[in-house]
Amino acid sequence: MKDFSLLEQKIGVKFKNKDLLTQAFVHRSYLNENVDFPLFHNERLEFLGDAVLELIVTDYLYASFPDKPEGELTSWMAALVNSKMLSMVAREMDLNDFLLLSRGEKRETGKARDYILANTFEALVGSMYLDRGLAETRRFVEHQLLPKISLVQEEHLFQDAKSRFQEVAQEKVNITPVYKLLKESGPDHVKHFVIGAFLGNELAGQGEGFSKQEAEEQAAKEALEKFEKEE
């Protein structure tokens, strides 16, 4: 079993209910091979953590940047809480060392593992909120995630491909892109999506990902690259 006291020391948060901390790291696949494990998987905690995280980040951005309009703050928030950013922060925190996965999932790396890490970060936020309350959870998020706002600003990570593609498409051909699911595969805990970005009936770009949002972003990116080549 993992020694979660090491994680508590690392993040500077001591849980009253140790089961809540452990549950944040239980992937659905782990229970398939450990049917007698006393805890449930982390998906409900992930659901809660996602909402708590958005509240904390939104509140911080609203208070910290009073001169910025709603649209810009929304873009910054999306860049801070997307799976790419959360998985990066999770790796920096070494959350990978504490994951409870099936033997098959342990062999997965790359995007599949990043998706699990991002979900685990949200589950950890959810478990912390239940165990320690909003104030302690806010301090954790402010320390671990919110400093990344400088990275978002410096590297223009808030300029997502979908927004840019919509602007370009409306300017060049006066059409608003539509995204359609082309293929869906994989088990519930690690779905794989293929999505097309369409301009009318024309497939402008295609993307894949472990969430529809990620696949749509990749489809928009491919479509943008095609537009640039044609110019």
* Active-site residue list: 50, 122
Spatial CB neighbours of 15, under 8 Å, sequence gap ≥ 6: 4, 8, 21, 127, 128, 131, 132
Start-to-end C-alpha separation, the chain:
57
Residue carrying structure tokens 């690259």 = 225
Instruction: Give me 93's structure tokens.
Output: 């925190």
Q: Based on the number of CB atoms within 10 Å of its own CB, is 9 exposed (0-12), middle (13-18) or buried (19 or more)?
A: exposed
Q: Based on the number of CB atoms within 10 Å of its own CB, is 195 exposed (0-12), middle (13-18) or buried (19 or more)?
A: buried
How far is it, in rounded angstroms, from Cα 176 to Cα 5?
Answer: 51
Short-list 30, 25, 33, 27, CA closest to 4: 25
Is the Cα dihedral 212, 217, 218, 223 positive or negative? positive
Cβ atoms 199, 177 nearer than 8 A: yes
How far is it, in rounded angstroms, from Cα 100 to Cα 23?
Answer: 9
